[in-house]
Amino acid sequence: MIRVEEIAAMIDHSLLHPTLNDAQLEAGCALAKKYEVASVCIKPYAVKLAAEWLQGSGVLVGTVVGFPHGNSAVEIKIAETENACMEGAREIDMVVNIGKVLSEDWDYIEGEIGEVLNTCHAHHAVLKVIFENDYLSEDRPKVRLCDICSRLKVDFVKTSTGYGFVKDQNGKYGYAGATDHDLKLMRKHCHPDVQVKAAGGVRTLDDALRVRKLGVTRIGASATADILDEAARRFGEEG
């Protein structure tokens, strides 16, 4: 039987919404401590605060780089990574340069990822590379990104930011997030040592259990309490 602790250990509690204020960020870190999740993924300016709020817990501090569109120059992404690590981040979720992916400038992409990866590892931090799959309508660039990340030995590949909204013909915006198709593809084409993180649309315990079966080891979630409270009810009853 799956234990609640196993699900908690998969969760990066997301604290990235632009409207979250400092009090809400602190409350989010308290929630992460209470449920003993893997990490928080917090807005970059609040990394130092999160490190203080989470001190003494097993919850790691994570943040984002080049978020959410990946357009920053490589030098800026390196500087963001360096600053975050110096302030206490131990996990970095970096958005690739999506335009360069769509241009198939693979040398640029490999160089960018490699530079940020080296900076992370110099500070004993892990790197999660966000593909933003909603912008990649074909599988080929996703597979190529998996190949590059495998060759570089990044720590994680990640589906989405949760903010990669695609404009429909009716003018409205939406996104699919972590689809089963993409998760299967990423797990298949990445080296076994490269872990897969699902982000975007993982909102329930059933969602978490489904992607876990596909080989996902981390999920980005804002519905952390709902997921883990349901896990406690369900698994407690089964026990």
Q: What is the pLDDT of residue 92?
A: 98
Provide the residue-wise pLDDT of the chain in tens; the chain has 239 residues.
Answer: 899 999 999 999 999 999 999 999 999 999 999 999 999 999 999 999 999 999 999 999 999 999 999 999 999 999 999 999 999 999 999 999 999 999 999 999 999 999 999 999 999 999 999 999 999 989 999 999 999 999 999 999 999 998 876 657 676 666 777 999 999 999 999 999 999 999 988 999 999 999 999 999 999 999 999 999 999 999 975 54
Q: What is the domain count for the chain? A: 1
Task: Output the pLDDT for position 164.
Answer: 72
- Could you please report the per-residue DSSP string of 213-235? HTT--EEEES-HHHHHHHHHHHH
Identify whether 153 is a catalytic site residue: no
Of the candidates 33, 43, 197, 207, the residue annotated as catalytic is 197
Report the DSSP beta bridge partners of residue 31.
Answer: none
37: its two tokens: 């999740």
The whole-number pLDDT of residue 163 equals 81
Taking the CA atoms of 51, 53, 55 and 58 in sequence, report the sign of the dihedral they define.
negative
pLDDT value at position 237?
59
Q: Is 93 a catalytic residue?
A: yes
Domain residues for 230?
4-238
197 is catalytic: yes
pLDDT of residue 239: 43
The CATH number that applies at residue 125 is 3.20.20.70
Catalytic member of 93, 134, 155, 207: 93
Query: Of 12, 158, 182, 207, which residue is the catalytic one?
Result: 158
